[in-house]
Amino acid sequence: MSFIYAHVGLQRDCLALLDTGSTQSGVYNIPVTGTDRTPVWCDMDTDGGGWTVFQRRIDGATDLYRGWDEYRDGFGDVYHEFWLVMNYVLIRCLNISSILTLPLSGNEQIHALTSAEDTEL
């Protein structure tokens, strides 16, 4: 698996990055709150690309049983398993029309991909 790490203007999410020509899945720096940037995983392959990944699970190595403070601040390794900063998740879903996509899997194979348009929190 290869990773990229890029600064591309002040794009607000992975879809904006895709629209400006960034087409490789990987880690990009985007502003989470204001102009403060944080590394996020952008999925540029699934269903047309441009997905800002809020949670990534690969092998279950990262413990998800945590308190609110850790979910609020984010945890894990953006190159492996992580939960993105909750403030970013809330800001993105409350301020723009969003689509929540959940890959449903078992035995390490994706069995279905489900989406909910205009997701509200």
H, E, C per residue of 28-44: EEEEEECCEEEEEEEEC
Q: Which two tokens stand for residue 34?
A: 């204001």
Q: What is the pLDDT of residue 25?
A: 95
Q: Which residues of the chain have pLDDT under 70?
A: 1-11, 32-35, 87-121
In CATH, what class is 5-117?
A: alpha beta
Q: What is the pLDDT of residue 24?
A: 95
Distance in angstroms (rounded) separating the CA atoms of residues 49 and 15? 7
Q: What is the pLDDT of residue 13?
A: 83
Q: What is the pLDDT of residue 112?
A: 46
Q: What is the pLDDT of residue 102?
A: 59
Distance in angstroms (rounded) separating the CA atoms of residues 36 and 84? 14
A 10 A CB-CB count for 31 gives: 16
Cα 100-101-107 angle, rounded to 5 deg: 145
